Chain A
Amino acid sequence: MTMYLVIAVIVLFFLVIFQISKAAEYVAVLKGEEQNRKQTNKVNAFLMVAFMVAGLIGVWYCNELYYKKTLLPLESASVQGEKVDQMLWITLAVTGAVFILTQILLFGFAYKYQEKESRKVFYFPHSTKLEILWTVVPAIFLTVLVVMGLRNWFYFTGDAPADAMQVEVTGKQFGWIFRYPGKDNQFGKKYYKLIDGADNALGLVWKDSAAMNIKDDAASHDDIVTESTVYLVKNKPVKFIIGSRDVIHDVGLSQFRLKMDAVPGIPTTMWFTPKFTTKEMKEKTGNPNFVYEISCDQMCGNGHYSMRGVIEVVTQEEYDAWMAKQKPKYLAVFPDKDPANKKDSTATASVAIK
């Protein structure tokens, strides 16, 4: 019912606008089109400056409302992100100045040079000097921005420090799988044809297969596999080795100011250094629910919007305590290979002998 009412109101509104417009046209013809044109010209010229002033105030007001909801009032949560922020401010200063200058000139000229009987147009088809000026000046500013950008770019994409911890991140529709190399500090081999939904989500090579011409890789036996939450250590660089099982995803880390695609068949990498633990961030933001979220930033299907992962940044001690509790996936799947279980079974065996 309200639906029809809304439609009726809209139609009515349109009819009114239409009638007014029609009437305005008749009046224009009666009054003399030339004179009418001059009047509307003045109105539009005035609206031009009015729009500019209101627009600039609007830009300021929008900033008042939303600046605090962006990431900028908070310090970047990664060392690398500091460079991003610094670059962002410099770029904003340059483009912001150009924005204000050119918009004022545009609408200002529109107002100032509105049609007047008395005005004589200045025939000014070109000026090499001016044209060189606004080729060279932007080129200089852009060079500065490029140099600054590329220095950061090579830092971000360069090699991770040797002491960085390594975590493998794998995207799937619609979630994240993480793998730590375990005690040997080495990722075991994997092969996608070994993936099975329940036990071996990454296709780790746990046994020989003559058909696939692969041999059991002992390095994979102590690899730790977790889903949805990954633990990282404060102030310790971490290198993500990123891949995907199905379609392209993207590891988006907004608080750390970084992201990298997860492409099936082509591993990518990204490294960074977290600066604050999750607990510290809860205090800094004043938000008790704060978490570092991994958002998938590449369209990956109907569940894309819900492909969420969590990063827990903790201190080294907390991390060690957490890690001590993790059990390699291999042992979870093959409990009989677990030395802990073995000790038990030999114990019971000896009891039996007695």
Chain B
Amino acid sequence: MSNEAVLHAPTTTITHHHDAHADHGHEHHHHETFITKYVFSQDHKMIAKQFLITGMVWAVLGGLMSVLFRLQLGYPDAKFPWLQDLLGKFWVEDGKITAQAYYALVTTHGTVLVFFVLTAGLSGTFANFLIPLQIGARDMASPFMNMLSYWFFFAASCVMLSSLFVETGPFSGGWTAYPPLSALGQASPGSKTGMDLWLIAMALFVVSSLLGGLNYIATVLNMRTKGMSMTRMPLTIWALFFTAVLGVLSFPVLFSGFILLIFDRNFGTSFYLSDLYVNGVTLPNEGGSAILFQHLFWFLGHPEVYIILLPAMGMVSEILSTNARKPIFGYIAMIGSLFAIAILAFLVWAHHMFVTGLNPFLGSIFVLLTLLIAVPSAIKVFNWLTTLWRGNIRFTPGMLFAIGFVSLFISGGLTGIWLGNSALDIHLHDTYFVIAHFHIVMGVASMFGMFAGVYHWYPKMYGRYLNNTLAYTHFWITLIGAYLIFWPMHYQGLAGMPRRYYDYSIWESFKQFAELNRFISTVAMVVFATQLLFLFNFFYSIFKGRKVTNQNPWGSTTLEWTAPIRPGHGNWPGEIPEVHRWAYDYGKDGRDFVPQTEPVGANESHH
């Protein structure tokens, strides 16, 4: 420990020096205009809010899309002439959602929720908001790059949105965009202009992620305040740090896959194409491999699910400990398991490809590595449970969502053990079992992590509280609804019902679920409407919520709650606080909590 202090001392002093200067500049000379404060802001807190609100806009659009395609699945025979008036003939013909529109909706829904909502909206928001505040820094390592990161995301959003309005429709080949379908306009109208726009949007998005990720890593490694050694960081920061590392190492691979795809689409190369006869025409391409893309895609695609999940895990650890008034159980094991998950995340991608004709021996290695991930996941779950054990639990809205997260993570994680075993996956792959699995473990669970984070840090973001009654209503309906929607889908999967089907009525093997589909669609609509309640609460409370008067409303140990209730650019008006202990001294020696800034007392007990 003392070694580390020596190592860190010089850098910290330099940082301090520099920061004091910057601080001076911001607080006294620089006059902020509307543009620099709200639009091209370089304040990490404002950028965080920009990510959050853009993410929320996409969540609403993506959710609305799921309501529309669920309408088709639940009521395949019904007609919706009013939808046709609303959306036009491309989407709805004769009062029925068209097959192409259905596939466009499913594809955009998946893409947008995975990348724009749960990557940008989740990491973008909380890495930006929490890293400087929790490690004691005035801002990111490069506030300018940070600003660019948001604006690249914004540009990506605009391009993706524009693809909804082109004549041949948005891309409709699934969010995984496998060629040859995604490479050939002849194979599907959605693979024409819509796919070009999709690729441009995704390329911009990758740039945004890299700019953000490099910044988060640099900030965590270099800008910690005095005394904030790595092993004193809150678990949120550890999780966000590993998330950034995953993104920086895997997004470039996805990017290279996209570049090759752009070449195949536009410049006549054959990276992914071979032996094709499409729509009555023989194509000249020979020698490519369609499977190559899947390797490149899933090399990002699998880490991506952890990019989505880790920030939620970090926030949940923090919120559970704070509201159980008890230290997180097994802090080092929690970091260790995050680390193990981050490493293994790179070594399991081919479990998405067991039935592509992958070499069976290679497949068996991936089975082993995939099921290995269950071990650090189990450690995390049991550590969370032990954190609750003999605590003194306060059910704040953030805490409820954190508990909901753990429940969902267990439910969805366990079915991963089914799917990771190739001999079972050969039966369940690409059925509704998979839809149930990844929605519960990644989609809804991470959404819960995000809600937990918003409810917990809202007072810090806006200096006001959200309305509690609305928050509790939101939580209970969403939790119950999520299980009602996704639990029965396991049964559809066990009947072999394939995903990405527009209509099941011609199938003797799958048509027995018509009634269940109607039920699921109805619940989905109710759950969607409940999210509007949250949205309303969020925006209403920014202006009219109860004001925060207590600097540390949850009784937390971490640094963000030592900053003023409405911190300015630079976060702390005076010196940056110094840290003397880890982040989880709750209930120690009979004290409710001991802030990280408090020096270790002479007769304090050791653990």
A interface with B by C-beta (< 8 Å): 3, 10, 14, 17-18, 20-22, 24-25, 28-29, 37, 40-41, 44-45, 47-48, 51, 55, 58-59, 62-63, 66-67, 69-72, 81, 83-84, 87-88, 91, 94-95, 98-99, 102-103, 105-107, 109-110, 113-116, 119-127, 130-131, 134-135, 138-139, 142, 145-146, 149-150, 152-154, 156-158, 172-173, 192-193, 195, 197, 203, 245-248, 250, 252, 254-255, 257-261, 263-269, 287, 289-291, 293, 295-306, 308
Contacts and interface: CB of A to CB of B under 8 A. Distances in A.
B424 A113 contact: no
A25 B466 CA distance: 10
B178 A146 contact: no
Interface in B399-435: 400, 403, 406-407, 410-411, 414-415, 417-418, 421-424, 426-427, 429-431
Interface residues of B, number: 129
A290 B495 CA distance: 14
A121 B326 contact: yes
B392 A115 contact: yes
A98 B417 CA distance: 12
9 contacts: A17-B473, A83-B423, A84-B424, A121-B326, A130-B330, A158-B360, A259-B355, A263-B356, A297-B430
B448 interface: no
Interface string B465-508: 00111101100100110010001100100111010111110111
B244 interface: no
Contacts of B400: 44
A106 B403 contact: yes
B280 interface: yes
A119 to B, nearest CB: 5
A107 to B, nearest CB: 7
Nearest to B360: A157
A86 B180 CA distance: 36
A106 B388 contact: yes
A173 B329 CA distance: 55
Contacts of A29: 546
A66 B470 CA distance: 34
Contacts, number: 369
B90 interface: no
A257 B385 CA distance: 37
Given A157-B360, A192-B275, A302-B99, A121 B371 contact: no
Given A95-B415, A268-B357, A84 B393 contact: no
Nearest to A25: B467
B564 interface: no
B394 interface: yes
B262 interface: no
A142 B378 CA distance: 11
A295 B431 CA distance: 11
B333 to A, nearest CB: 5
The main secondary structure of chain A at its interface with chain B is helix
Interface string B268-309: 000001111111101000101111000000000000000000
Contacts of B424: 84, 87-88, 91, 149
Contact of B587 (A103, A121, A131, A260): A121
Nearest to B101: A302
Contact of A291 (B184, B473, B508): B508
Contacts of B290: 248, 263-266
A301 B187 contact: yes
Contact of B496 (A44, A246, A254, A263): A254
A40 B326 contact: no
Contacts of B418: 88, 91, 95
A264 B138 CA distance: 55
A62 B498 contact: no
A113 B393 contact: yes
Contacts of A193: 282
